[in-house]
Amino acid sequence: MKKILLVAVVFISSFTQAQQEVKVDLLDALAFKTMEFSYEYYTSESSSVGVSALFNFEKKSADFKYNEERMITPYFRHYFTNNGTWNYFGEVFLGINTGEKDDVEYTDGALGIAIGSKYVSSGGFVVGVYGGLGRNMFSSNSRSIVPRVGINLGYRF
């Protein structure tokens, strides 16, 4: 029992010592009637892993909208700078998305890359800007290109 408790304490403390962020994408909310939430976990000073969840609330008849209805996007980021305030990064992502094309529903996975920059204040406030593209790879019913763009606001803890 003591060994299990020790392993649990070490496991939980490893997560509490690392930097983590929660963010919401304002660009999607204001321009596309879409909500995207993100969680990012820093594995070292120069790399992190994260996941984003996108939910599209725009009507199908809208002229300007995401093709994807929902998308879960696990990602890996490598930070090229490490000065504490503005950091530039490259990202590799896999966007698992669902949507509808020509009245046929689809689920597909897009592999892609993105670049961006992030500002982190001394109090933990985070502003990030990124852009990239992915390509759907598994279904002929889906759109071939998947965008990954955003302006995030969040908090680092």
| pLDDT given for residue 59 in this prediction | 81
Cα-only R_g, the chain:
18
CA distances from 84 to 50, 71, 91, 121 (A): 19, 30, 19, 8
Residue corresponding to tokens 């790399």: 47
pLDDT value for 65: 74
Residue 72 belongs to domain spanning: 19-156
pLDDT tens column, 38-67:
999 999 999 999 999 999 998 877 776 778
What pLDDT is recorded for position 111? 98
1 within some domain: no
Query: Distance between CA 18 and CA 148 in Å, rounded?
Result: 26
- Residue 10 in any domain: the answer is no
Q: How far apart are CA 72 and CA 53, in angstroms?
A: 5
What's the pTM? Answer: 0.84
Determine, yes or no, domain membership for 74. yes
Whether 91 is covered by a domain: the verdict is yes
CA distances to 2, 69, 70, 96, 104 from 100, in Å = 53, 8, 11, 14, 5
Q: What is the pLDDT of residue 2?
A: 54
Q: Between the CA atoms of 129, 29, 23 and 85, what dihedral angle is there, to the nearest 10 degrees?
A: 30
**Residue 12 vs residues 1, 49, 65: alpha-carbon distances, Å:** 17, 17, 40
Per-residue pLDDT for the chain (157 aa), expressed as one digit of tens each?
A: 555 555 554 455 455 567 999 999 999 888 888 999 999 999 999 999 999 999 999 887 777 677 899 999 999 999 998 876 889 999 999 999 999 988 899 999 999 999 999 999 999 999 999 999 999 999 988 999 999 999 999 999 9
CATH code of the domain containing 152: 2.40.160.20
Domain-embedded: residue 2: no
Domain assignment of residue 5, yes or no:
no
CB 111 within 8 A of CB 135: yes
Cα(21)–Cα(151) distance, integer angstroms: 14
In-domain check, residue 152: yes
Gap between the Cα atoms of 4 and 16, Å rounded: 19
Residue 55 lies in a domain: yes
- Report how many domains make up the chain: 1
**What pLDDT shows up at residue 102?**
86
Residue 137: the pLDDT is 96
